[in-house]
Protein backbone atom coordinates (compact mmCIF):
# COMPACT_ATOMS: atom_id res chain seq x y z
CA UNK A 1 0.00 0.00 0.00
CA UNK A 2 1.17 3.50 -0.75
CA UNK A 3 2.33 5.92 1.92
CA UNK A 4 -0.87 7.91 1.34
CA UNK A 5 -4.42 7.67 2.72
CA UNK A 6 -5.48 4.02 2.66
CA UNK A 7 -6.96 2.85 -0.62
CA UNK A 8 -9.97 0.57 -0.04
CA UNK A 9 -9.19 -3.09 -0.63
CA UNK A 10 -11.13 -5.11 -3.21
CA UNK A 11 -11.03 -8.91 -3.05
CA UNK A 12 -11.61 -10.74 -6.33
CA UNK A 13 -11.70 -14.53 -6.56
CA UNK A 14 -10.24 -16.15 -9.65
CA UNK A 15 -11.07 -19.89 -9.50
CA UNK A 16 -8.78 -20.82 -12.39
CA UNK A 17 -6.97 -24.16 -12.45
CA UNK A 18 -6.40 -24.77 -16.17
CA UNK A 19 -2.83 -23.49 -15.92
CA UNK A 20 -1.71 -26.29 -13.64
CA UNK A 21 -1.47 -30.02 -14.14
CA UNK A 22 -3.89 -31.04 -11.38
CA UNK A 23 -7.33 -30.19 -10.05
CA UNK A 24 -8.10 -28.32 -6.83
CA UNK A 25 -6.74 -24.78 -7.16
CA UNK A 26 -10.21 -23.57 -8.21
CA UNK A 27 -11.23 -24.05 -4.57
CA UNK A 28 -8.53 -21.63 -3.38
CA UNK A 29 -10.67 -18.45 -3.24
CA UNK A 30 -13.29 -20.18 -1.10
CA UNK A 31 -10.63 -21.50 1.30
CA UNK A 32 -9.12 -18.03 1.75
CA UNK A 33 -12.57 -16.67 2.53
CA UNK A 34 -13.14 -19.45 5.08
CA UNK A 35 -9.80 -18.45 6.64
CA UNK A 36 -11.48 -15.04 7.21
CA UNK A 37 -9.13 -12.97 5.09
CA UNK A 38 -11.71 -10.19 4.84
CA UNK A 39 -12.26 -10.13 8.60
CA UNK A 40 -8.55 -10.01 9.35
CA UNK A 41 -8.07 -7.00 7.07
CA UNK A 42 -11.16 -5.22 8.36
CA UNK A 43 -9.88 -5.65 11.93
CA UNK A 44 -6.74 -3.74 10.89
CA UNK A 45 -8.82 -0.75 9.89
CA UNK A 46 -9.05 -1.38 6.16
CA UNK A 47 -12.22 -0.85 4.17
CA UNK A 48 -12.70 -4.17 2.38
CA UNK A 49 -15.15 -5.15 -0.34
CA UNK A 50 -15.48 -8.70 -1.61
CA UNK A 51 -16.36 -8.56 -5.31
CA UNK A 52 -17.07 -12.28 -5.51
CA UNK A 53 -15.52 -14.47 -8.20
CA UNK A 54 -14.57 -13.50 -11.72
CA UNK A 55 -16.58 -15.11 -14.53
CA UNK A 56 -14.53 -16.30 -17.52
CA UNK A 57 -15.37 -15.70 -21.15
CA UNK A 58 -17.32 -18.37 -22.97
CA UNK A 59 -14.53 -20.58 -24.29
CA UNK A 60 -16.27 -20.85 -27.64
CA UNK A 61 -15.64 -17.13 -28.15
CA UNK A 62 -11.86 -17.58 -27.86
CA UNK A 63 -10.29 -18.41 -31.20
CA UNK A 64 -7.84 -21.34 -31.25
CA UNK A 65 -4.38 -20.18 -30.19
CA UNK A 66 -1.30 -21.23 -32.12
CA UNK A 67 1.66 -21.20 -29.76
CA UNK A 68 4.98 -22.65 -30.91
CA UNK A 69 5.90 -25.35 -28.42
CA UNK A 70 4.10 -26.94 -25.47
CA UNK A 71 1.14 -25.12 -23.94
CA UNK A 72 -1.80 -26.92 -22.33
CA UNK A 73 -5.31 -25.45 -22.53
CA UNK A 74 -4.24 -21.99 -23.74
CA UNK A 75 -7.77 -21.07 -24.83
CA UNK A 76 -9.14 -21.89 -21.37
CA UNK A 77 -6.45 -19.81 -19.69
CA UNK A 78 -7.11 -16.97 -22.15
CA UNK A 79 -10.83 -17.10 -21.33
CA UNK A 80 -9.94 -16.25 -17.72
CA UNK A 81 -7.01 -13.86 -18.00
CA UNK A 82 -8.46 -11.56 -20.67
CA UNK A 83 -11.47 -10.46 -18.56
CA UNK A 84 -9.24 -10.47 -15.47
CA UNK A 85 -6.93 -7.96 -17.16
CA UNK A 86 -9.92 -5.67 -17.72
CA UNK A 87 -11.14 -6.08 -14.13
CA UNK A 88 -7.67 -5.48 -12.69
CA UNK A 89 -7.48 -2.23 -14.62
CA UNK A 90 -10.99 -1.15 -13.57
CA UNK A 91 -10.40 -1.88 -9.88
CA UNK A 92 -7.07 -0.06 -9.83
CA UNK A 93 -8.41 2.89 -11.82
CA UNK A 94 -11.31 3.08 -9.38
CA UNK A 95 -8.90 3.89 -6.56
CA UNK A 96 -8.97 0.47 -4.90
CA UNK A 97 -6.17 -1.92 -4.01
CA UNK A 98 -6.99 -5.29 -5.59
CA UNK A 99 -6.18 -8.63 -3.99
CA UNK A 100 -6.63 -11.47 -6.47
CA UNK A 101 -7.49 -14.78 -4.80
CA UNK A 102 -6.37 -17.78 -6.83
CA UNK A 103 -6.55 -20.09 -8.51
CA UNK A 104 -3.30 -21.08 -10.17
CA UNK A 105 -0.48 -18.69 -11.02
CA UNK A 106 -1.52 -18.27 -14.64
CA UNK A 107 -4.05 -15.73 -13.32
CA UNK A 108 -1.12 -13.29 -12.97
CA UNK A 109 -1.07 -13.00 -16.75
CA UNK A 110 -4.26 -10.99 -16.36
CA UNK A 111 -3.75 -9.32 -12.99
CA UNK A 112 -0.28 -7.92 -13.69
CA UNK A 113 -1.17 -6.83 -17.23
CA UNK A 114 -4.23 -4.89 -16.06
CA UNK A 115 -2.59 -3.31 -13.01
CA UNK A 116 0.41 -2.30 -15.15
CA UNK A 117 -1.91 -0.62 -17.64
CA UNK A 118 -3.44 1.54 -14.91
CA UNK A 119 -0.11 2.63 -13.44
CA UNK A 120 1.22 3.34 -16.92
CA UNK A 121 -1.73 5.74 -17.30
CA UNK A 122 -0.64 7.34 -14.02
CA UNK A 123 2.95 7.73 -15.19
CA UNK A 124 4.30 5.38 -12.51
CA UNK A 125 6.54 2.38 -13.15
CA UNK A 126 5.16 -0.93 -11.90
CA UNK A 127 7.60 -3.37 -10.29
CA UNK A 128 6.78 -7.02 -9.59
CA UNK A 129 7.89 -9.09 -6.58
CA UNK A 130 7.42 -12.80 -7.37
CA UNK A 131 7.42 -14.81 -4.11
CA UNK A 132 7.68 -18.31 -5.49
CA UNK A 133 9.73 -21.50 -5.55
CA UNK A 134 9.64 -21.19 -9.35
CA UNK A 135 10.42 -18.28 -11.65
CA UNK A 136 7.45 -18.94 -13.98
CA UNK A 137 9.48 -17.45 -16.84
CA UNK A 138 9.07 -20.33 -19.26
CA UNK A 139 7.63 -19.95 -22.74
CA UNK A 140 6.01 -22.68 -24.82
CA UNK A 141 9.42 -23.23 -26.45
CA UNK A 142 11.24 -23.77 -23.13
CA UNK A 143 8.60 -25.36 -20.90
CA UNK A 144 9.17 -29.05 -20.08
CA UNK A 145 5.56 -29.51 -18.91
CA UNK A 146 3.53 -27.09 -21.03
CA UNK A 147 1.62 -25.98 -17.92
CA UNK A 148 0.83 -22.31 -18.34
CA UNK A 149 1.14 -21.35 -14.68
CA UNK A 150 4.88 -21.64 -15.36
CA UNK A 151 4.72 -18.94 -18.06
CA UNK A 152 2.89 -16.13 -16.28
CA UNK A 153 5.86 -13.91 -15.43
CA UNK A 154 7.23 -14.27 -18.96
CA UNK A 155 3.92 -13.05 -20.40
CA UNK A 156 3.85 -10.13 -17.95
CA UNK A 157 7.34 -9.20 -19.17
CA UNK A 158 6.14 -9.13 -22.77
CA UNK A 159 7.64 -12.32 -24.20
CA UNK A 160 6.33 -12.21 -27.80
CA UNK A 161 5.64 -15.93 -28.11
CA UNK A 162 2.95 -15.60 -25.41
CA UNK A 163 1.25 -12.48 -26.81
CA UNK A 164 -1.60 -14.47 -28.46
CA UNK A 165 -2.89 -15.46 -25.00
CA UNK A 166 -4.02 -11.90 -24.34
CA UNK A 167 -5.29 -11.30 -27.87
CA UNK A 168 -6.34 -7.68 -28.40
CA UNK A 169 -7.08 -7.04 -24.70
CA UNK A 170 -5.69 -3.60 -23.73
CA UNK A 171 -2.76 -4.16 -21.39
CA UNK A 172 0.73 -3.09 -20.42
CA UNK A 173 3.87 -5.09 -19.76
CA UNK A 174 6.46 -4.78 -16.98
CA UNK A 175 10.13 -4.24 -17.80
CA UNK A 176 12.03 -7.41 -16.81
CA UNK A 177 14.63 -5.35 -14.94
CA UNK A 178 11.80 -4.23 -12.64
CA UNK A 179 11.01 -7.82 -11.65
CA UNK A 180 12.39 -9.77 -8.70
CA UNK A 181 11.86 -13.49 -8.18
CA UNK A 182 12.37 -14.11 -4.47
CA UNK A 183 12.73 -17.56 -2.89
CA UNK A 184 13.38 -19.55 -6.08
CA UNK A 185 14.65 -23.11 -5.75
CA UNK A 186 13.44 -24.82 -8.95
CA UNK A 187 14.22 -23.21 -12.34
CA UNK A 188 14.29 -25.03 -15.68
CA UNK A 189 17.42 -24.74 -17.91
CA UNK A 190 15.80 -22.77 -20.75
CA UNK A 191 14.02 -20.58 -18.24
CA UNK A 192 17.35 -19.82 -16.50
CA UNK A 193 18.80 -18.63 -19.79
CA UNK A 194 15.83 -16.35 -20.47
CA UNK A 195 15.97 -14.84 -16.99
CA UNK A 196 19.63 -13.93 -17.48
CA UNK A 197 19.09 -12.54 -20.98
CA UNK A 198 16.13 -10.40 -19.90
CA UNK A 199 17.77 -9.08 -16.73
CA UNK A 200 15.27 -10.35 -14.15
CA UNK A 201 16.61 -10.23 -10.58
CA UNK A 202 16.51 -13.69 -9.00
CA UNK A 203 17.11 -14.14 -5.27
CA UNK A 204 17.27 -17.88 -4.77
CA UNK A 205 17.27 -19.64 -1.41
CA UNK A 206 21.06 -19.82 -1.32
CA UNK A 207 21.27 -16.03 -1.57
CA UNK A 208 18.62 -15.72 1.12
CA UNK A 209 20.53 -18.14 3.36
CA UNK A 210 23.79 -16.26 2.84
CA UNK A 211 22.49 -12.67 3.06
CA UNK A 212 19.21 -12.88 4.92
CA UNK A 213 15.77 -11.67 3.91
CA UNK A 214 16.21 -8.11 5.14
CA UNK A 215 19.26 -7.12 3.06
CA UNK A 216 17.90 -8.52 -0.20
CA UNK A 217 14.39 -7.15 0.27
CA UNK A 218 15.63 -3.69 1.20
CA UNK A 219 17.87 -3.61 -1.86
CA UNK A 220 14.91 -4.31 -4.15
CA UNK A 221 12.48 -2.02 -2.32
CA UNK A 222 14.99 0.83 -2.37
CA UNK A 223 15.13 0.42 -6.15
CA UNK A 224 11.34 0.70 -6.36
CA UNK A 225 11.32 3.85 -4.25
CA UNK A 226 14.26 5.43 -6.08
CA UNK A 227 12.22 5.34 -9.31
CA UNK A 228 9.02 6.53 -7.61
CA UNK A 229 7.61 3.16 -8.58
CA UNK A 230 4.78 1.04 -7.25
CA UNK A 231 4.75 -2.68 -6.55
CA UNK A 232 2.64 -5.70 -7.45
CA UNK A 233 3.28 -8.64 -5.11
CA UNK A 234 2.54 -12.15 -6.34
CA UNK A 235 2.52 -14.71 -3.50
CA UNK A 236 2.58 -18.39 -4.41
CA UNK A 237 1.90 -20.90 -1.63
CA UNK A 238 5.05 -22.80 -2.59
CA UNK A 239 7.18 -19.81 -1.57
CA UNK A 240 6.70 -21.32 1.89
CA UNK A 241 8.31 -24.54 2.97
CA UNK A 242 5.83 -27.42 2.48
CA UNK A 243 6.08 -28.28 6.19
CA UNK A 244 4.29 -24.97 6.82
CA UNK A 245 1.96 -24.91 3.82
CA UNK A 246 1.38 -28.33 2.25
CA UNK A 247 -1.72 -27.29 0.29
CA UNK A 248 -0.08 -26.83 -3.11
CA UNK A 249 0.45 -29.09 -6.10
CA UNK A 250 4.04 -27.96 -6.75
CA UNK A 251 5.81 -28.53 -3.43
CA UNK A 252 9.58 -27.96 -3.37
CA UNK A 253 11.50 -28.63 -0.13
CA UNK A 254 13.62 -25.91 1.45
CA UNK A 255 11.24 -22.96 1.19
CA UNK A 256 10.85 -19.86 3.31
CA UNK A 257 10.22 -20.38 7.00
CA UNK A 258 7.18 -18.89 8.69
CA UNK A 259 9.36 -16.20 10.27
CA UNK A 260 11.14 -15.35 7.01
CA UNK A 261 7.84 -15.02 5.16
CA UNK A 262 6.39 -12.72 7.80
CA UNK A 263 9.53 -10.59 7.69
CA UNK A 264 9.09 -10.19 3.93
CA UNK A 265 5.53 -9.01 4.49
CA UNK A 266 6.47 -6.63 7.29
CA UNK A 267 9.22 -5.08 5.17
CA UNK A 268 6.72 -4.60 2.36
CA UNK A 269 4.33 -2.91 4.78
CA UNK A 270 7.15 -0.64 6.00
CA UNK A 271 8.05 0.36 2.44
CA UNK A 272 4.49 1.39 1.62
CA UNK A 273 4.68 0.80 -2.15
CA UNK A 274 2.38 -2.19 -2.64
CA UNK A 275 -0.63 -1.44 -4.88
CA UNK A 276 -1.88 -4.95 -5.72
CA UNK A 277 -1.47 -8.56 -4.64
CA UNK A 278 -1.97 -12.08 -5.97
CA UNK A 279 -2.43 -15.03 -3.58
CA UNK A 280 -2.16 -18.13 -5.72
CA UNK A 281 -1.82 -21.91 -6.03
CA UNK A 282 -3.68 -22.80 -2.82
CA UNK A 283 -5.12 -26.28 -3.32
CA UNK A 284 -7.40 -27.08 -0.38
CA UNK A 285 -7.72 -30.69 -1.56
CA UNK A 286 -4.04 -31.15 -0.67
CA UNK A 287 -4.12 -29.11 2.54
CA UNK A 288 -4.22 -30.31 6.15
CA UNK A 289 -7.14 -28.86 8.13
CA UNK A 290 -6.78 -25.50 6.42
CA UNK A 291 -3.18 -24.95 7.55
CA UNK A 292 -2.06 -23.41 4.26
CA UNK A 293 -5.10 -21.14 3.91
CA UNK A 294 -4.64 -19.84 7.46
CA UNK A 295 -0.90 -19.27 6.92
CA UNK A 296 -1.64 -17.28 3.75
CA UNK A 297 -4.34 -15.20 5.44
CA UNK A 298 -1.91 -14.41 8.28
CA UNK A 299 0.80 -13.39 5.80
CA UNK A 300 -1.56 -11.08 3.93
CA UNK A 301 -2.54 -9.52 7.26
CA UNK A 302 1.15 -8.89 7.98
CA UNK A 303 1.50 -7.13 4.65
CA UNK A 304 -1.38 -4.85 5.61
CA UNK A 305 -0.18 -3.88 9.05
CA UNK A 306 -0.62 -6.71 11.54
CA UNK A 307 2.38 -6.52 13.90
CA UNK A 308 3.25 -8.33 17.08
CA UNK A 309 4.23 -4.97 18.63
CA UNK A 310 3.96 -1.39 17.45
CA UNK A 311 7.32 -0.18 16.21
CA UNK A 312 8.72 2.81 14.32
CA UNK A 313 8.57 2.43 10.55
CA UNK A 314 12.02 1.63 9.18
CA UNK A 315 13.30 4.19 6.72
CA UNK A 316 14.28 3.10 3.23
CA UNK A 317 17.21 4.88 1.55
Kindly list the catalytic residues: 105, 132, 134, 136, 149, 236, 238, 281
Cβ pair 43, 18 in contact under 8 A: no
CA 277 to chain centre: 6
Collapse the DSSP code of 125 into the 3-class scheme (helix H, G, I; strand E, B; otherwise coil) and give the result.
Answer: coil
With a CB cutoff of 8 Å and minimum separation 6, the contacts of 184 are 132, 133, 134, 135, 202, 203, 204, 205
DSSP string for 143-198? -SS--GGGSHHHHHTT-GGGGGGTTT-------GGGEEEEEE-B--HHHHHHHHHH
Collapse the DSSP code of 76 into the 3-class scheme (helix H, G, I; strand E, B; otherwise coil) and give the result.
Answer: helix
- How do beta strands 97-102 and 201-204 pair? unpaired
Query: Judging by beta carbons within 10 Å of its beta carbon (0-12, 13-18, 19+), is residue 35 exposed, middle or buried?
Result: buried
Beta strands in the chain (DSSP E): 9-14, 48-53, 97-102, 126-131, 179-184, 201-204, 230-236, 274-280
Collapse the DSSP code of 303 into the 3-class scheme (helix H, G, I; strand E, B; otherwise coil) and give the result.
Answer: helix
Collapse the DSSP code of 15 into the 3-class scheme (helix H, G, I; strand E, B; otherwise coil) and give the result.
Answer: coil
Collapse the DSSP code of 52 into the 3-class scheme (helix H, G, I; strand E, B; otherwise coil) and give the result.
Answer: strand
State the maximum Cα–Cα separation within the chain, in Å, rounded to a whole number. Answer: 54
With a CB cutoff of 8 Å and minimum separation 6, the contacts of 317 are 218, 222
Amino acid sequence: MLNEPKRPIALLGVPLEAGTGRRGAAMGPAALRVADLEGRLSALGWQVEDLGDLAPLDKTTVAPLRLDGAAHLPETVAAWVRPLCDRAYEISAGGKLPIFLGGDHSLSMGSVSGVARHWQDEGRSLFVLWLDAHADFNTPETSPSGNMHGMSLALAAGEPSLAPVMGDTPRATVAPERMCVFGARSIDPGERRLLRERGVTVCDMRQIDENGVSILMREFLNKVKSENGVLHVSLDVDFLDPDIAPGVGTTVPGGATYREAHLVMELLEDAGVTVSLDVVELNPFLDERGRSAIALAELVASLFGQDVMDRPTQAFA
